[in-house]
Amino acid sequence: DQQVKQNSPSLSVQEGRISILNCDYTNSMFDYFLWYKKYPAEGPTFLISISSIKDKNEDGRFTVFLNKSAKHLSLHIVPSQPGDSAVYFCAATSNQAGTALIFGKGTTLSVSS
């Protein structure tokens, strides 16, 4: 049973617009969430994280929102750029899981110019 779900396999956005990537989780013990970006032939690259004590974390063009009651988080990219085209993975961890990351299946973002 998947504990971290990214229900949209793909997303297409125009350059300059907002990209919103969504992630749902089922394990209420998760207390730390991360987003990674992956280009072909490269390993995942850390983007941004959020602790469960917060509901928002911002870093430049990237903002992550956490809704604990809904067990939902989202990554907003504003403005989107063609170089943002990649696979985005949502990951979660808990004190029980230690430092093991539990990943979703990923969402492929395509930003067109």
Partner 1 sequence: DAGVTQSPTHLIKTRGQQVTLRCSPKSGHDTVSWYQQALGQGPQFIFQYYEEEERQRGNFPDRFSGHQFPNYSSELNVNALLLGDSALYLCASSLGQGRGEQFFGPGTRLTVL
DSSP, collapsed to helix, strand or coil, labels residue 10 as: strand
Alpha helix ranges (H) inside the chain: none
Nearer to partner 1, 79 or 102 (CB): 102
Q: What six digits make up the tokens of 55?
A: 């509901």
Name which of 47 and 79 has its Cβ closer to partner 1.
Answer: 47
Nearest to 88 by CA among 30, 31, 33: 33
Q: Is 53 in the site for partner 1 (CB under 8 A)?
A: no
Out of 42, 60, 83, 113, point to the residue binding partner 1 (CB under 8 A): 42
Nearer to partner 1, 9 or 16 (CB): 9
